[in-house]
Amino acid sequence: MRTRRPQTLVKQFFRPFCLVLLCGSLAGSQAPKKDTPAGVDDPNTFRVNVRLVNVFASVTDAHGAPVGNLNKDDFKVLEDGVPQTISVFDRESELPLSIVMAVDTSESTRRDVKLETLSAKKFVRSIVLRPVDRLSVFQITENVDQLSGFTSDLKSIERAIDRLQAGAGTSVFDTIYLAADSLIDRQGRKVLVLITDGGDTTSKTDYQNALRRAEQAEAIIYSIIVVPVAADAGRNLGGEHALIQMSKDTGGKYYYADSIGALDDAFRQISEELRSQYLIAYYPNRRVSDSAFRRIQIEVAKKDGSGEAFHARHRAGYYTAPAR
């Protein structure tokens, strides 16, 4: 199906939001409210909206290998530099996993489409989708096409991958925006896997809007950058750097792939990482600024046997205003 442009979706997805009193942060799940009798307005009561901030962290050792045996006490969380108390901690979270796999089939990647298709199918098989997990396939050309809805049915996903067709332009930022929109109301972990050379030639939205929407959706971006040629003169380095920064800001990772082996390896590493993440959640205990964006920092106190520090990757922060 053909997905509409961001300008249309901004209006479609607008959600009115009204609170009598706002308390704490505006990221995560809204606290339950008590039902009140119809027509009764008690002046001595007020509503409190307290939001739990969910952060999915991937921890690696000095060699880049996933570390999956840490405990709650091994982590320290700060928001805008202020220490926070971890309220929820889980390893290899059982939360549902929603994945958008977006494949660039534009003219610049035409020679790699067949390889991308084969490798994408291997990834779908390796991720071993559980009944609660879902995956959707997007195609990136001058248009943004969602070739399958969110499903755990392997045959449906593979049929969607087989429908990938070459196009002329490349709308990477539009794809990120629209993929984030498709993820924004889904529960659990949300992941966007991009397979592209990074060149954007036809998007209607820009880098900042695409990144903000991904951050609002709490989507983790993994970028697999397909290298068309080795020489810098034939590559879109600006587009590559944009994908690298988006991956970092959302807690994901980027990979370069110039062969089917490199594609397979990137997909394998993503699959392994998604099965070894930590869920760390907290209620912000102090408001330190009026900024619309709150920065999150997660530190790992524990080190490996040789004294090397572990590294935690996670989203850079969250917006205090509700997504519209």
Model pLDDT, residue 168: 87
Rounded CA-CA distance 142/146 in Å is: 13
**Burial (Cβ within 10 Å: 0-12, 13-18, ≥19) of residue 234:** exposed
Rounded CA-CA distance 121/7 in Å is: 32
102-125: b (≥16 Cβ within 10 Å) or e: bbbbbebbeebbebbbebbbebbe
Every domain range in the chain assigned CATH 3.40.50.410? 94-274
* CA 64 and chain centroid, separation: 20
Tokens 């609170």, residue?
A: 19
252-290: b (≥16 Cβ within 10 Å) or e: bbbbebeeeebbbebbebbbebbebbbbbbbbbeeeeee
Model pLDDT, residue 233: 53
Residue 123, classed as helix, strand or coil, is helix
* Between residues 196 and 42, the one the model is more confident about: 196
Domain 94-274: CATH architecture, name and number where available: 3-Layer(aba) Sandwich (3.40)
How does residue 227 score in pLDDT terms, banded at 50, 70 and 90? confident
Q: Are 223 and 252 in contact (CB under 8 A)?
A: yes
Return the H-helix or E-strand segment holding 182: helix 172-183
pLDDT in tens, 58-110: 999 998 889 988 999 999 999 999 999 999 999 876 788 999 999 998 876 66
Residue 229: pLDDT over 60: no
pLDDT in tens, 196-217: 988 899 999 999 999 999 999 9
* Between residues 17 and 165, the one the model is more confident about: 165
Q: Considering the chain, what percentage of its residues have pLDDT values greater than 90?
A: 54
Instruction: HSE, CB side, 13 Å, CA atoms: give it for residue 229.
Output: 7
